Every structure is written in structure tokens, then in C-alpha cells.
Amino acid sequence: MKSTKTLAALRKIIDYWDLGSKVNSTIDPCSQNASWAPDSANPRVACDCAGNTCHITHLNLGQNVLSGPIPAEIGQLQNMQYLSFSSNNFYGPLPAELGNLASLQQLWASDNLFTGKLPEFFGTLTELKDLRLQGTSLEGPIPSSFRALTKLEDLRIGDLSQEDSALDFLENQTSLSILSLRDCRVSGEIPERIGTFAKLLYLYIPKDNLCICLRYLGNNNLSGQLPENIVSPKLMALDVSFNPISGNLPLNYSRVGFVMKASEMLQCLQPNASCTTKLPASSFSVKCGGTEQISSSGIKFDDDSENLGAASMYMNSNYQWAVSTTGNFISNPKGPLYIAKTDTQITGTLDSELYKTARISPSSLRYYGLSLKNGKYTVELHFAEITMDDGQSWKGLGKRLFDIYIQGERVLQDFNIQKEAGGSKRALIKTFEANVTNTIMEIHFFWAGKGTCCIPLQGTYGPLVSAVHAYQGPSYLFPLTFGILCFSFNPLSVRP
């Protein structure tokens, strides 16, 4: 037996979004033989028929190129436990009727065009374990009603505009294992109690009893000092970049494992530092994410195929370049090691191979040229969108946005490779001028939390760059190369 009210609501939702060709509303929606019943079905409807009445508990509408507002009838599916309408073109505010879904444990709504304030009614969804609201146009702040969500295990919110948000809602969410608040205008001090939550802000990947743990609070406006207990024995990365925090890194931060390596590299990044006995260079080129290549114009692009991790740093043996990246692809931790690849031919260039690999990062990626001659340089940045599609299906809804800084000055904001190049798999070169005054050039690619996160795959976001070429005067005179470096600057120090 099925609830008549629930069936009527589901049929109205099916008709509203014209899903009749995929979900036949004249057939029992809880039939185990229906095409929408398997776990892999999309759209998917699943029910719990343990008692005398069948209740709809799962509704997956993600990645179906649907548009329009969310109908109020969604609130009549009151036994819903898992609801996803991510990666579509839904718009308008989230309806208050969602607050009626008291049994809801998972809600995925990322990568849509939702507007309005992040609703207070989320505080009534006390069974929620997994909430994802990234890549939307919702406004802050994060409501204080989130305090009631004490069963949360995975909370990902991004792209909140307008008002600042505080972390005061984090009180008793002791089950949290993933917390991502990227570009949410979070301000204020970091609460001391955060350090007492054993799982809070962690990415946990079990593999042979190994725990990979990372904490991310980057690109907000947090202030004050870091709590001593924010660093755990299993912590492998800590990202508090681009926050005006101060004080010392806790003593046990040395367990993270890269403090000494960072110290060595930072010495080479000091103004007028001499880390090489060679004469100062007047150009550099790097094949991001790939092996050495010679372009059709004779430029040698240096090998940059080193595997990097969530907080990795590498400097070549000649101290002419370094590479670093911060951040972790939380949704796809087993994905590529910060390198994207394709076998597809790249159009709009004579150097297709130059664009078939790229260095990617979920947060911040920096290139540093070291021991350079001072003076004016031309900087050429090479791009091709090789991971996102531009077709008519839901896979074409992806949007990669990031910012670019050269010598500390933002030269591009919300840069969209696909839009600028006129499509995917098309080469694009952006040219800028830069002035070197202290023998160092810095090129910084930074994800501010904007754009989509999970199209066509989980973890498809953040900076992507195919190659870099910078030169002072004719490029053929100085075919020296360098690679990538990515540090996070805060007024912190490491205690010996």
C-alpha cells in the first residue's frame, strides 16, 4: 500500500520537470522491477516497504539538465532520506517546504543557480548527515540554526555572498569528518572547541590503517591565533591560507612532515637570494604536468611531471624553479595526482601536445621563477580545458572559475578557460607584463570557491594551466626553464 498524498506529490514533480519519458508516473514508483529502481539509475526512485505502507525514501534527479524552481510538493515526501538534485539548472530560492523532510539524511544541491539566503529551516533537518551546497548563488550568513545539525558527517558549503558567516554554529557536531566552507565569507576567531572535535575538518581515507587527514579553512577572514589542539598526530595538511591569523604554529606541527622542506625553499624565495651559482636567467618555460617538450617555435618547455600531493613542494636540482600545491580534492581523493591528461587533439594551435597535460589544484597553485635578472618581462600563460565537456548534456554544465595573480597583482578574476577559448579542447594563450625587482617572479593561480565542483566528475574544479613561458627580450636568447610553487602566506612561524 502506498500513501496517496505521496504518490500525488511525486507525479506532480515528474510532470513539473517533464520526466515522464524517464519515470512513468502510471507505474507503481516502488516497483523493484522499474527502470528507475536500481542504485545506478538516473533519475532514481527507491522506497522502503518494510511495513504495510511503502514510503519513497530516495530521489535522485542529479545530472539531468533540469531547470526551473524546486516545487513546493517536494515537502510532501516526508519519509525522504536521500535527495539529490545537484548538477542541473535549478534556480530561485530553496523552498521552505524542504524543512518538512524531517527524516532526510543526505541532501546534495550543488552546481545549480539557487538564489536567496541560506535558509534557517535547515535547522529542522536534525537527521542530516551529508549536506552539500557548493557552486550556487546563495547568500550568507550560515544560519545559527545549523547548531541543531549534530549528526552531520559531511558538510560542504561554498560561494556564499553578501553577509559574513561565523563558526559559532559548530558546537556539538562531533561526527563531522569533512567540513568545507570555501569562499563563505567566514569571519571572526576560530573557536577553541574545534580542536576538541576528533573528526572535525578531517578528510579520512582508510588504506592499510593509514589515515590521510586534512583541514581546510582557506580564503575566509578568520582572525586570532590557531588553537594548540587544532593539529592532531595524524594530520597531513593544514590549510588556513589567506586568513589574517597570527601567532605560532603549534609545536606538533612538525609532524606534518614538510616544515623543513618548506624552510629550505623559502630561503630561495627571499628577495635577491642566491640559490644557484649560475648566472641570472632572463626567461623560463614549463610544461605543466608533463614531460619536456620543444614547441613549434623552438621554445624548450621544462619537465613538470613530478607527482604532488595535498601539501607538496618540489624544487629542481638547479634551484631555478620550484613547485608546490595546497588543497585536496575531497570528493575525489583517489583521482589524478594534481595532473590532468587527455588523448584528444587540441585545436587552435600547432602545439597540440603542449596542451594535453595540465597542472591542476583544488586550491592554490604558484609558479616561482628564481634567480632572474631584474627588469620587465612578458608572461605567456597557456590553457586548454581538457577535463570539462562543452556538449548539450548535463556534462556540459560544468564551469571552472579561478583567479590569476602575477607579482601579487590580480590580473584575471573568475577566469573561465572554456568561455575565453570558445569551447573545450581549444588552445588559449593569455599574455601579461610583469616587473621583476628582486630576482623572483611569482605567478599564482587561486580557486576562490566559485564555479561548479562536480561536473563531469567529483572534484572537477580549481586552477588548471597547461604551460608557462616568460621572457625578458627575445625568448630564444635565454631558453631557461622553471616550474611551479604554491605557498600559503600567513603571519605564522614555526617554533623550534
Please say if the pLDDT value at position 343 is more than 60: yes
Residue 173 has what pLDDT?
A: 86
> Under a CB-based contact definition with an 8 Å cutoff, are residues 473 and 355 in contact?
no
Lowest mean pLDDT among 76-80, 132-136, 216-220, 402-406: 216-220
Q: How many residues does the chain have?
A: 496
The position carrying cell 631557461 is: 480
191: DSSP letter: P
Question: 202 or 133, which is more confident?
Answer: 133
Residues of the chain with CATH 3.80.10.10: 4-185
Residue 159 has what pLDDT?
A: 82
Question: 18 or 398, which is more confident?
Answer: 398
CA distance 256 to 274: 28
CATH number for the domain whose boundaries are 4-185: 3.80.10.10
- Residue burial 70-103, b: 16+ Cβ < 10 Å; e: rest: bbebbbbbbbbbbbbbbbbebeeebbebbbbbeb
Please say if the pLDDT value at position 262 is more than 70: no
Question: 394 or 336, which is more confident?
Answer: 394
pLDDT in tens, 362-414: 888 998 888 889 999 999 999 999 999 888 777 788 889 999 999 989 999 99
221: DSSP letter: E
Residue 179 has what pLDDT?
A: 80
> Under a CB-based contact definition with an 8 Å cutoff, are residues 404 and 325 in contact?
no
23: DSSP letter: S
Fold of 261-488: Jelly Rolls (2.60.120)
234: DSSP letter: T
When pLDDT is averaged across residues 229-253 and rounded to a whole number, the result is: 54
Residue 53 has what pLDDT?
A: 81
Query: Per-residue confidence at 237, pLDDT binned at 50, 70, 90?
Result: low
Mean pLDDT, rounded, of the chain: 79
Query: Per-residue confidence at 255, pLDDT binned at 50, 70, 90?
Result: very low
Residue 378 has what pLDDT?
A: 96
The position carrying cell 589542539 is: 229
When pLDDT is averaged across residues 340-348 and rounded to a whole number, the result is: 96
Residue 392 has what pLDDT?
A: 76
Please say if the pLDDT value at position 168 is more than 90: no
Residue 212 has what pLDDT?
A: 34
Residue 39 has what pLDDT?
A: 83
What is this structure's pTM? 0.66
CA distance 293 to 301: 5
Query: Per-residue confidence at 104, pLDDT binned at 50, 70, 90?
Result: very high
336: DSSP letter: -
Please say if the pLDDT value at position 88 is more than 60: yes
Amino acid identity of residue 83, one-letter, is L
pLDDT in tens, 442-473: 999 998 778 888 888 877 889 999 999 999 96
Q: What SS3 class is residue 462?
A: coil
Q: What are the residues whose beta carbons fall under 8 Å from the beta carbon of 118, sequence distance 6 or more?
A: 133, 138, 139, 140, 141, 142, 143, 157, 160
